[in-house]
Amino acid sequence: MAVINNASVYDYYLNTYAGDSAPNRPNRFDSHKKSELRDVYGRILKANRESPLYKLKVDPESMTRFAIDLKENARHMQNVVSALSTEGDDIESIFYKKVAVSSNPDAVGVEYVGDKDSTENPTFDLGVKRLATPQVNTGNFLPATGHDFEEGTYSFDLDIGGKSFEFQYNVMYGDNNYDVQQRISRLINSSNLALSSRVLLNNDNRTSALQIVSKHTGLAEDEEFLFRITSGSNWKEMNILGINEVTEPAQSSIFTLNDAEHSSLANTFTINKAFEVSIHGTTPDGEPAHIGFKANTEAIADSVEELVTSFNGFVAVGQKYQNDNGHNQLLNELHGLARSFGDELSQVGIGLMGDGSMFLDREVIADAVTSEDAKKAFGILNKFKDALEREAQKTSVNPMNYVDKVTVEYKHPTKTFTAPYATSIYSGLLVNQAL
């Protein structure tokens, strides 16, 4: 039985989809109501009841990357559909929705969260001088394979959020410096405090250092630190680790609002209870980002373009792994979905390319949603949106449906039962179920 390398699977996920710089970052639509979770659970049970027993024909590592790519693209597509349905199920609501826009979205992102019925359309300029940053404690770089710690039990004190905690860790016989640093890092990460920790490796001189970073940013006027580490009775070990020293103090963001300077503890804040602003970088001197509103046709075109982009993401996944999946069910299914709309999509500016991906003509869609047949255009867009939502839901529940496999045994046609681990090959990534 071929076992999946879990470390490489998680590394692929973290490097490809996790972090602020990765595409399809998590957003507010990744939080769900209980009713939505029950619906997903019900669909998983139904898929399990109907799934036959099978063995896989593809390389385990390729298969798990394929499943991860499918799940993440499905999540992104569902989030796009959710964003288009916040005002109801009809995409036409976007036409009447107030959508804020920034002239420099790389540095300043904005979302209108005010009264949708307000007739006021305020605009303003926002310049970013400094981002809010977390506190960083980077310890001493020690020889990774060295043995600077004696066998025993040690502790240190950590103050955060007005509370004090004691952390205890053990040094076992034979542990090197890297082992000890990793053990403390795991201890901090599992503490459920607003901290994250990792061990930095310098491969040039084979040294390692323990780094601790606060999840919060900025310092209030009456604060000296976001967290503080003290040695307690084990001052020798603390001096070796060096994690009690603040190497990068937390800072608040500094920005100008119509030339008046302000500050914030975080990089996301609300202005006048109407605009939620997220700052990602500094703006050039004298060139603040202008915050205003999109034209209605621009808002529609941008929203539909996101739908098209999410569809193309699925196509790209199918093309990437087409040599690993003989009959390539994913691409066939996507091509069939596009063909099912016939010439309807071309009426709203959505065209098909030779490789099966789509493109959007913004001028055509602007004309379509402002013409006398606007209702028909919105009807086509709604059908397209609903079709993509169904595709995303189906793929998200059972990504293994698209992996090349050999059916071993079908379920009994009248006496089906739920096999709770049928989809665990993705959800747990524990073992390749090749027989």
pLDDT per position as a tens digit, 137-173: 999 999 999 999 999 999 999 999 889 999 999 999 9
**pTM reported for the whole predicted model:** 0.60
Q: Which of 38-52, 98-112, 219-233, 284-298 has the lowest mean pLDDT?
A: 38-52
Task: Give CA angle at 227 (226, 232), nearest 5°.
Answer: 160
Pick from 115-124, 156-165, 330-339 the range whose average pLDDT is largest.
156-165
Instruction: Quickly list DSSP for 17-34.
Output: H-STTSSS---GGG---H
Is pLDDT larger for residue 148 or for residue 80?
A: 148
Residues in contact with 208: Cβ distance below 8 Å, sequence separation at least 6, in sequence order: 141, 142, 144, 177, 178, 181, 199, 200, 201, 202
Residue 239 has pLDDT above 60, yes or no: yes
Place of tokens 């099966």: 356
- Closest by alpha carbon to 82, among 31, 133, 131? 31
Task: Please give the angle made by the CA atoms of 404, 408 and 412, to the nearest 5 degrees.
Answer: 120
Q: Which of the pair, 30 or 95, is modelled with greater confidence?
A: 95
Residue with tokens 């003989």: 326
Give yes or no for residue 260 having a pLDDT over 70. yes
Task: State the average pLDDT over residues 308-321.
Answer: 87
**What are the pLDDT digits (tens) for 345-362?**
999 999 989 888 999 999
The pLDDT of residue 396 is 79
Nearest to 212 by CA among 193, 189, 196: 196
Which pLDDT value is given to residue 127?
95
Look at residue 2 in the predicted model and tell me its pLDDT: 41
Mean pLDDT across 198-213: 93
pLDDT, residue 118, reads 75
Residues 6+ apart with CB under 8 A from 4: 60, 61, 64, 429, 430, 431, 432
What pLDDT score was predicted for residue 424? Answer: 46
- What's the one-letter identity of residue 284? P
pLDDT, position 71: 81
Amino acid of residue 148: D
Q: Give which of 245, 252, 248 is closest to 220, Cα–Cα.
A: 252
Position 15 scores a pLDDT of 67
- Residue pair 287/172 in contact (Cβ under 8 Å)? The answer is no
pLDDT tier, 430 (very low <50, low <70, confident <90, very high otherwise)? very low
Q: How far apart are the first and last CA of the chain?
A: 6
Average the pLDDT over 293-316 and give the result.
86
**Structure confidence at residue 187 as a pLDDT band (50, 70, 90):** very high
The percentage of residues in the chain with a pLDDT greater than 90, rounded to a whole number, is: 40
pLDDT for 64 beyond 90: no
DSSP 143-189: ETT---S-SEEEEEEEEETTEEEEEEEEE-TT--HHHHHHHHHHHHH
**What whole-number distance in Å separates Cα of residue 337 and Cα of residue 357?**
12
Give residue 216's pLDDT. 94
CA dist., res. 363 & res. 414, Å (int) = 54
User: Which pLDDT value is given to residue 193?
Assistant: 92
Q: Quick count: other Cβ atoms within 10 Å of Cβ 120?
A: 8
Q: Residue 341's pLDDT is what?
A: 87
Beta pairing class for 163-171 and 152-160: antiparallel
CATH class for the domain made up of 136-241: mainly beta
Name residues whose C-beta falls within 8 Å of residue 23's C-beta, 6 or more positions apart in sequence.
Answer: 17, 76
Element (H, E) at 56: strand 53-56
Reply yes or no on whether the pLDDT at 435 is more than 60.
no
What mean pLDDT do residues 21-40 have? 64
Beta-carbon contacts of 273 under 8 Å, excluding residues fewer than 6 positions away, are 113, 114
Which of the 8 DSSP states describes residue 96? G
CA 157 to chain centre: 33
9 pLDDT band, cuts 50/70/90, is: low
Average pLDDT over residues 5-17: 62
Averaged pLDDT of the chain:
82
Where are the chain's structural domains? Answer: 6-99+297-427, 100-132+252-293, 136-241
Beta strands in 215-313 (DSSP E): 227-230, 253-257, 260-264, 268-271, 275-279, 289-293
